[in-house]
Amino acid sequence: MYLSKLELHGFKSFADRTVLHFAPGTTAVVGPNGCGKSNIVDAVRWVIGEQRARVLRSEKMENVIFNGTARRRPLGMAEVQLTIENTRGVLPTEYTEVTIGRRLFRSGESEYLLNGAPCRLKDITDLFMDTGMGAGAYSVIELKMIDEILSENAQDQRRLFEEAAGITRYKLRRRQTLAKLDSTQADLTRLRDLTDEIGKQVRSLKRQADKAARYQEYRTRLRQLELALAQLEYDRLTRRQETLHAEIATLRQQNDTETSRLDEAETRLAALTRELGEREQALAAAQAHLQTHLDALRALEAERQLWQERMETALRERDRTRREAEQDAERRTQLEATLDRLSREISGAEPEVAAAEEALDAARATRDRLQAAADALRERLLSLRQQVQTAEDTRAERRRALDRLTSRLDVQTQERTRLQQELASLQHQAQTLDQQVAEATTRLEATRQAVATAQAALKTAEDARETRQAAVQAAADALRQAERRCDAAAAEVQLLDALVSSYDEFSDAVQFLATTAGWSDHPLRTVADVLACDEAHRLALDAALGDLAACIVVASEAEADAARQLLHRQGKGQATFLVLDQLPDAPPAPPRGDARPLASLVRVVDPACASLPAVLLHDWALVPTLDEARTLAQTVPAGRFVTPDGEWADACGLLHGGSARTAPSPAGGRLGRREQLDAARARLATWEAERSRHAEALASAQAALDAVPFEARRTALQDAERHLAEARQVHARLTYEQETLRRRQQEVQQRLDALAQTLTDAHRQIQTLEADVAAAETDLDARRAERSQADDAFQTAEAESRAAMQRFSEAHVAAVQARNRLDNLRRDRERTQQALHDLDARAHARAEHLDALAATLTDAEHHLHRLTEQIDAAGDEQATRQRAVDEAHTELQRTKKQIADIDAVLRGLRRNREQQMREENLRAVRLAEVDTRLNDLVANVREDFDLDLSATRIDLEEAFDEDRARAEVTDLRARIRALGAVNELALEAYEQEKERLDFLLEQQQDLERAEATLLETIDEINTTASERFLTTFSAIQDHFARIFAELFVDDATASLRLADPEDPLESPIDITARPRGKRPSTIAQLSGGEKTLTAIALLFAIYLVKPSPFCILDEVDAPLDDANVDRFMNLIRAFSDQTQFILVTHNKRTMEMADRLYGVTMQEQGVSKLVAVQFDEAVEMAGA
C-alpha cells in the first residue's frame, strides 16, 4: 500500500493545478527555502482531515487558499486530492484504489470527497483511524515535531503509542460510554430526588382526602341554609321594587305639566333670539361697510407713498447715469492711444519671426542627420555587447560545470578514503562484537533462571493474599450488612420522629401550639401521644377515646390558661385541654361479666399520666362481637362495650357500627407512636454497636492482609523481569548490531567498487571540460576587442549628435520667443478694439435709459396729484358710515334686555322641573340599587349554586328562623375555616400521584440496570484496550532499545517506562536516552541532533510493531551530520520495502540515496511550480 498521486489546486502557493506522482521506495522533494516544499506536506495533512490551522502554519483555515500575488488575483477555492493504492487492504474498504479529496471556499463552506462522492469528515477520520495514517498519527513528521514526540506532555507522547496499538477507537468508545454513564447517573439522581418528593406528596394527599370528606358535609348544609336566606332576601327586594315603580309614575305626571309651561317661555325666547340675530347682523353689516371704507382710504395713502418713492428713485438713477457717461469719455481717449502704439509694434515684430523660423529649419536638418548616424552605431554596439555576454555565459557555464565536477570528485575521493577507514574499523568491531554476543547469551540464561525463582515466590504470596482477601471481603460484607441495618433503623427513627412531631391532622389551634414555644415547659402532647396498646386493640381504643384522643395534655390549670390566652391573642381558634392535676379519682368500674376492661389493655408512655386510662376508660370494656356488646349493654347499667373493629354499644341505647374500618382516625393513628419511636431508637443503638464490632473485625482482617509480603515478591519479580528484559535487549541489540555490521561491511565494499568506476569517469570528464573552457576564453577575447572599437566610434558620433541637439534647442527657443511676442501684441490689439466697441454700446444703452427715467418722473407726478384728490373725498364719506353703525348698536341693546327678562322666567320654571326630576332620579337610583341587589343576588345564587331564583322558588322550612339560620351559617363557615386549606380533588390527585410514583419507580429500576450495563461495558473496554496497549508497548520497548543502539553505536542505551503501570491507558511515558559517554538526566539536555536520532529511533521502533504504509519526513535530517545522515538513510533503506518514504530535504547525502527527486521552484514570485531534476540540479536548488 502506498501513495500514488497528489493533486493540488489553489492550496497555499500552488496556484495552478499541480500533480505529483509517487512510487514505492524513497522520494526526495528539494528546492530553495521559501519555495513551497513544506506546503506539499501541509496538503497531505489537510486532505486526510487535519482541523488545526496552527499545525498547517496558519492563523485560520481560510489562509490555505491561494491569496494572490502582484500579478495574480486571489483564488476562491483550495482543493487537494490524494490517491492511495490500497493493495494490502489496510484501509477498511473494498476498493484497491482510494481517492480522498477536500475543498475549502472563501465563504467558509467546505467539502470532503471519497472516490469522487461527497462524504463527511467523520467518514475520513473513521477510514484512517488506527491505521497509523490519520491527521494526528505518525505518518507525517516535521522537524518541529521532534520536541513534541520527546516532550514531557503525556498527550503528545501517548498519541503515537495509542495509534500503533490500535486503541484509539476503544478510547473514543470509552469517552462516549462515560458520557452516557454521567448522563444516566445524573438522570438517576434526579429521579431518586423526584420519587422521594412524590412519596411525600402521596402521604400528604392521603391525609387531605380525609379532610375533604368533612369539608363536603359542611358545604352541603351551608348550601341549604344560604339558599333559604337568599330566597328571603329575594322576596324583600321584589316588594321594594314594586313600591318604587309607583312613586316614579306619579313624579313623571307632575313633570309633564311643568314641561308645558317651560316650552311656551322657550318659544318666546326663541323669537327674541332670532330678532337679536337680525340686529347683530345689521350692526355687523354697518361695521363692515365702515371697515371697507377705511381699508380703501389706507390703500390710497399707501399707493401715494409708493409713487412718491418711485419718483425719488428715478431722480437718483438719472444722476448716476450722467456720472458714468463722463468716466467712459475719459476711458475712450486712453484706449485710442494704446491701439495706435500696438499697431506700430506689430509691424516691427513680423520680420523678426520670419528670420527665427529659417534658422530653426536649418538646425533641425543637421540634428536629424547626426542622430541617425549615432543610432546606427548604437545598434551595432548593442549587438556586439550581446555577443560578448553570450560568450561570457558560455565560459561561465563551462567553468561551473568544471567546478561542480571537480567538487564532486573531491567529495567522492574523501568518501573513498572514509569508507576505506570505516571498512577497517568494521572488521575490528566484528571481532569484538562476536565476543560480546557470547557473553550476552550466558547472562540471558542466568536471568531467566532468576525470573523462574521469583515467579514461584510470587505464586506463594498470591495464594496467601487471596485467602486473607476472602477474609477481608467477608468482614466487609458483614460491615455493609450492619451499616444497612443501621441506615434502615435510622430512617425508621427519623420517620417516626417526623410523625410524632407533625400535627397536620389536628385543628389550627393544636398545630399553632405545637409550633409555638413559651406556653409550656414541655413539647405539646395529646392523649393519643401518651397512650399505647397492641395493634389488635388500636381500633377499639380509638373508638372509645373518640374526640378525647385529640385533647392536649397539660400538667396544670395554669399551663392550660397560658395556652388558651395565647390562642385568644393570636386568633387561632379553640382547643380542648386535659389538666392532669385536676383529674378526679377513677370511679369504680361497673360489672362487665366476661368482658375485659379496656383500661387494662392500655399502656402509658409517660408515668405522669398513669391515671389517664382508668379515668377516661373506666366504663369501657372489650368484647369480641357487636352482638355481645349489645347484650351486655342491656344487662350492665352505665357500661360501654366495644369490639376490636371499633363498633360499640352502651346502656343508654347508643349504638355505633357499620362497615369494617381499615385504619384509625387521624388522632387515633398517633396511639403508640411514641412507644414505637422509643423501640426504634433502642434497635438503632443495638445495630450501631453491631456495626462497630464488625468494623473492628474488618480492621483486623485488613492488617493480616497487609502483612502478606506480596508487594515485595512482586517487586522482586519485576526486578528480575527487568533484568531479563535488559538482558534480552542487550542480546537482541548485539545480535542486531552483528547483523547490521556485516550488512554494512558489504555495503561499504560495494560503495568502494562503485566509487572507483565513478572517479575514473570523472577524470575523463574533467579533461574534456578544461579544453572547452580554454576555447571559450579565446572566443571571448576576440569579441571583446571588436566591442571596444565599436564603442569608440559610437562615443564620437554621440558627442556630435549632442552638439547638434544643443544648437537645435537654442534655435527653437529663439523662434518660440519671437512667435510668442508677436502673438501677445496681436491679442493686446484685439482686446483694445473690443474695449472701444464696449464703450460705444454702453453709451447707446445709457441714452435710452435716461429717456425712460424722464418718462417715469412725468408719470409719477400725474399719479400723485390724482391720489391726493381721492383721499380728500373719502374723508367726508367716513363720518356718514359711522352714524349708521351707532344706530344699529342701540337697537341691539334693546333686544338683549327683552331676552334677559324672558330668561329669568325660564330659570324659575327650570328650577321647579329640576327639583321634580331629582325626586324622580332619587327613586330611580333606589330602584336601580334594588335591581342591582336583586340581579346580584340572582347572579350570585346562579354562580354559587347553579340555580335561577327568578324562575325557581326555594321552599322554606316551617317556622324557619332567619337569625338562627344566619348563626348556623356563621358556625359552618368557621368550621370550614378551621379545616384550613382543603384539597377537594385530594382523592383523585392521590390516585394520580400514586400511579405516577409507581411509574417513576419502574423507570428508576430501568436506569439502575442501564448504569450497571454501562459500567460493565467500560470495564470490558478498559481490559481490552489495556491488553492491546501493553502488548504493543512491550514490543516498542525492545525495538526502541535496539534501534537506538544501532544509531548511536557502542554502549548507547535507551528505554521506555510507564510512569503509572496500574493505569496503562492514561499513564505518562518516560523516555530515557543515554548516548555513548553521556548520562543526561532529561531528554531536554540532549543536543538537537541527538534528539532527532532519538525521535527517529522511537518512530522506527513503532514502525516495526505497526508499519505505516507511507511516511513523510519534513527536513528531519537538518540537525544531523554526515555520519548520522548515513545511519538515518540506512534505516530508511531497511524500512522502504514495507513503507513508502517521502523526504523534504536540503541534504546532499539524502538526495544521493533517494530513488527519485522532485524539485519545487518559485519562478514566478509567490507561485510554486513542480519540476523534475537531476542530482546536480537538486544540489544547486537546495543551496540556492
The secondary structure of 966-1012, three-state, reads: HHHHHHHHHHHHHHCCCCCCHHHHHHHHHHHHHHHHHHHHHHHHHHH
Tally of CB atoms within 10 A around 205? 21
Question: What does R_g of the chain's alpha carbons equal in angstroms?
Answer: 63
What are the domain boundaries of the chain?
A: 2-169+1029-1183
More confident residue, 516 or 156: 516
Residue 65: predicted pLDDT: 92
Instruction: State the pLDDT confidence band at 148, using cuts at 50, 70 and 90.
Output: low
Q: Is the pLDDT of residue 1175 over 60?
A: no
Distance CA 1064, CA 697 (A): 35
* pLDDT tens per residue across span 915-950: 777 777 787 777 778 888 878 878 887 887 778 877
- Average pLDDT, integer, range 1118-1130: 81
Give the Å distances, CA to CA, from 992 to 194, 986, 1006: 15, 10, 21
Residue 151: predicted pLDDT: 63
Give the Å distances, CA to CA, from 1176 to 661, 1103, 1117: 112, 32, 20
Residue 1178: predicted pLDDT: 47
* pLDDT tens per residue across span 586-640: 777 666 667 888 888 888 888 888 888 888 888 888 888 888 888 887 787 778 8
* pLDDT tens per residue across span 1059-1095: 777 877 777 888 888 877 676 656 777 777 777 888 8
* pLDDT tens per residue across span 64-96: 899 888 888 999 899 999 998 887 777 877 788
Residues 337 and 344: beta-carbon distance below 8 Å: no
Query: In a 3-state reduction of DSSP, which class is residue 1054?
Result: strand
Widest Cα–Cα separation across the chain: 178
At 946, which helix (H) or strand (E)? none
Residues 177 and 1014: beta-carbon distance below 8 Å: yes
Q: Is 15 exposed, middle or buried (0-12, 13-18, 19+ CB in 10 A)?
A: buried
User: 2-169+1029-1183 maps to which CATH number?
Assistant: 3.40.50.300
1034: left (phi over 0), alpha (psi -120 to 50) or beta: alpha
- Average pLDDT, integer, range 468-478: 82
* pLDDT tens per residue across span 628-677: 888 887 787 778 888 988 898 887 888 888 877 766 777 777 777 777 77
Q: What would the DSSP string read from start to end of 272-334?
A: HHHHHHHHHHHHHHHHHHHHHHHHHHHHHHHHHHHHHHHHHHHHHHHHHHHHHHHHHHHHHHH
Percent of the chain with pLDDT over 90: 2
Q: What is the pTM of this model?
A: 0.36
Average pLDDT of the chain, as a whole number:
79
Tally of CB atoms within 10 A around 600? 12
Measured between its terminal Cα atoms, the distance across the chain in Å is 35
Percent of the chain with pLDDT over 70: 93
Residue 102: predicted pLDDT: 93
Measuring CA to CA, which residue among 168, 158, 167, 164 is closest to residue 1068?
158
* pLDDT tens per residue across span 562-573: 888 888 888 888
* pLDDT tens per residue across span 46-58: 988 888 888 888 8
Distance CA 274, CA 279 (A): 9
